[in-house]
Amino acid sequence: MNPIAFWTKSLLGVFCVCVGLAAAPFLAEASADREKLLTEPGVYGTFALFSLGDTWTKQDQATRISQLTLLKGVVEQHREKIAIDLYLLRGLSDQADLMFRVHAAELRDTQQFLVDLQNSPFGKYLKGAGLMHGLTKKANYVPGFPDQLKADLKVVSEPGSKPYAVVIPVTKSADWWALDQDKRAAMMQEHTEATLPYLKTVKRKLYHSSGLDDLDFITYFETSKLEDFHGLILSLEKVKEFQYTRQFGHPTLIGTIKSLDEMIEALAQ
């Protein structure tokens, strides 16, 4: 670690303590809501992508740190209503440098957060690079699956951190939607069976987008083993349902999951 990086770390450490003292109470309060937002149906998930403008790194480090402190304030201020996750895409995806995943009961609350973010001193360096919205819903096809498959799906994910996140937007063809529910259910069962070998090492979450964006679904993955994730996708490309997929990725977004403090440290350098 070079001296400048070390100095940043110390400075951020001090600053984190200060903010931490004040923020602690409502952070605890917020986490109950966060749990609900991240697990229940009927919640809107937004993926907001940003590029960092050229001028960001041209500022001196002290200015950047003071602006990131204000970013922290904006995030904390909205954490009561919405759940915010951060991802560093720079170096892994060319579409954007940062991604915010926001869960909210109302899209208006997400909009308010993103408007406040862009109005903040740090936000002035962010350039919007994409926005996708989806809705969490109760499982559509699972209730009709055989009992054995339902049981297999209850496998517990391997413990330990999953540093990588991948987002793949999906659109189905008009032919898919024209199929009756039975035919779609049969194909989704084959699709689901193909995922079984990867349940332990790849976590998945599904968002329904029709009408909220130019997508039908946003699929979100977390893993510590990208080779397993690659195997999962390869298996999914081979099932019949894939032939009804019109858009898969474009963009595929790949990044690493960061806490707010880790992200601030990464951006301060």
Please check whether residue 254 is in contact with residue 93, taking contact to mean a CB–CB distance below 8 angstroms: yes
Residue pair 254/92 in contact by the 8 Å Cβ criterion: yes
> Least CB distance from residue 90 to a copy of itself, whole Å?
6
Q: Restricting to residues 2-41, name those near a copy of itself by CB under 8 A.
A: none
Options 8-16, 21-29, 125-133, 189-197: segment touching a copy of itself (CB under 8 A): 125-133
Is 84 one of the binding residues for a copy of itself (CB under 8 A)? no
Contact status, residue 198 vs residue 228, Cβ threshold 8 Å: yes
CA-based nearest residue to 205, from 226, 190, 218, 220? 220
Q: What is the 3-state secondary structure (H, E, C) of 163-223?
A: CEEEEEEEEECHHHHHCCHHHHHHHHHHHHHHHHHHCCCEEEEEEECECCECCCEEEEEEE
Q: Which is nearer to a copy of itself, 189 or 209 (CB)?
A: 209
Q: Does residue 204 have an active-site annotation?
A: yes
d(CA 84, CA 34): 9
- The C-alpha angle with vertex 94 and arms to 93 and 99, in degrees rounded to 5, equals 55
User: Residue 142 interacts with a copy of itself (CB under 8 A)?
Assistant: no
Segment near a copy of itself (CB under 8 A); pick from 22-30, 141-149, 153-161, 224-232: 224-232
Q: Does 198 bind a copy of itself (CB under 8 A)?
A: no
Pairing of strands 98-104, 126-135: unpaired
Q: How far is the CB of 126 from a copy of itself (least distance, A)?
A: 10
Q: Which of 108, 184, 204, 246 is catalytic?
A: 204
Q: Which residues of the chain form contacts with a copy of itself (CB under 8 A)?
A: 42, 44, 48-49, 53-54, 57-58, 88, 90-94, 107-108, 110-115, 118-119, 124, 128-131, 133, 135, 163-164, 166, 168, 174-175, 177-178, 208-214, 216, 226-227, 229-230, 232-234, 237-238, 240, 242-243, 245, 249-252, 254, 256, 266, 269
Residues with active-site annotation = 204
